[in-house]
Amino acid sequence: MDKPREIALKTLVSIEQEKSYSNIILNKMIKENSKILSEKDKAFISELVYGIISMKLTLDEIIKKYSNIKIKKISIWILNVLRMGTYQIIFLDKVPKSAAVNESVNLAKRYGHKASSNFVNAILRKINKSDYDELFLIKNDIERISKTRSMPEWIIKELLKDRNIEEVDKICKNLNNRPKVQIRVNTLKTTKEELETILQKEDIKCSRIEEMPNFLDANIKNIENFEYFKKGYFTVQDISAGLTAEILSPKENEIILDACAAPGGKTTYMAELMKNKGEVIACDIHKHRVDLIKENANRLGIDIIKAETQDSTKFNPKYENYFDKILLDVPCLGIGVIKRKPDIKWQKSEKNIQEIVDLQFKILENISRYLKPGGFLVYSTCSILKEENEEQIEKFLEKHSEYERVSIDEISTLGNIEDIKKKFTKNGYFKIEPDESKDGFFIEKLRKK
């Protein structure tokens, strides 16, 4: 029995049964089996799990073509064996088809009933790469994108509200890419040049990101156990998330609020930009997530962050007109970060849109009361749906004449980020589309008059 494939299968079934996020179950399974797995095995398991969850809709479409049993009637174990085999045949060029079929049949013998192995064998022997190519010939645009990019139709329809079909197809394609590991240099402990030298000595490939001077692309495996991560020389952060802190432009000795802060990536970046001078109040509704903020701050050597368990929809009179600047990265559907959390595609639905939009607006209205007159508030989401972003700001400004947009010209602290500046619209906000190097994000800066 091939152990990596068996662990991948158990992981996929656990994710479906527990309706949990793939990274949590995968990390747990790899940790439990770490003594018997090589780094190559771990990478293969991760590729299978993330790849299959990302491409599930497409894989099921191909399986349907050859199965005389409806997908819903196939046992969860055998369906995931079929998905694993199909994924290897269609998307993993280095795996011979014979190996993909034979190992899938072995898994079916162990985790199915007597006829399961014959059923799996019959289907997988018929599947070829041409089955995937045929999906690109579908005439209907929405159906074609859904079946080739493994994207629920409701997300495609939402994206089409303010984009053309080619743009939507490109976004859906990019959301299936494996995310790059980007790290932010902790300038309180080291410099970019010093960290580059350290990584090179450790034989870790890294490269500069011109748009964001404090960030590097770095191919670090097993980051949490890496000595210089533990020492707090850097943290993992996508440049789109880091940009929210840069646009807010926190300064030394200011009093800043990060209202939906956990796990603390943006909070700690603001503290670093402030040179660890001033005060950052970081709030989250869940205590265990507030503890993550504290852990991150301690590792990075930051002592100006005060982490609090607080509900951002509830007014706290002690903070009225209290803060110089506020970062409000509200809860969202997370469409812009699907490549990091592919489960979003299957766990969310169009029914969630109104629910999340109402929550966002409630938080925005409440938190806006905490800003001093003349202060700045950055509203951001890792979503790219109009309802969660532009429409929220327009509705808020109609209702709150004491606030105004900050023009592009005023946001002058961003350094050399021409590539990102191009993403500005005429209304003066950032809308970053997910691509090979960036997550999808919306960021807008407001001023309280």
The residues annotated with a catalytic role in the active site are 382
The torsion angle over the Cα atoms of residues 184, 285, 248 and 369, rounded to 10 degrees, is -170
Report d(CA 89, CA 85) in Å as an integer: 6
Q: Residue 263: is the preceding peptide bond cis (ω within 30°)?
A: yes
366-404 in b/e form (b: 16+ CB < 10 A) is bbbebbeeebbbbbbbbbbbbbbbbebbeebeeebeebe
Residue 195 carries which side chain, given as an amino acid letter? L
395-401 long-range contacts, CB within 8 A, separation 24+: 395/361, 396/361, 396/364, 396/365, 396/368, 397/446, 399/365, 400/365, 400/368
Q: Which of 410, 445, 314, 307 is nearest to 369 (CA)?
A: 314
Q: Where are the beta strands (DSSP E) in 47-115?
A: none
Residue identified by tokens 């990584």 is 199
C-alpha distances in Å from residue 438, one per residue of 209, 219, 235, 434: 11, 16, 16, 5
Report d(CA 214, CA 248) in Å as an integer: 16
Report d(CA 390, CA 428) in Å as an integer: 10
Residue identified by tokens 């960021």 is 443
297-335 in b/e form (b: 16+ CB < 10 A) is bebbbbebbebeebebeeebeebeebbbbbbbbbbbbbb
Task: Using the Cα atoms of residue 65, residue 54, residue 352 and residue 146 in order, give the sign of their dihedral.
Answer: negative
Q: Where are the beta strands (DSSP E) in 146-218?
A: 182-185, 206-208, 215-218
End-to-end C-alpha distance for the chain, whole angstroms: 67
CB atoms within 10 A of CB 184: 25
Report d(CA 285, CA 310) in Å as an integer: 5
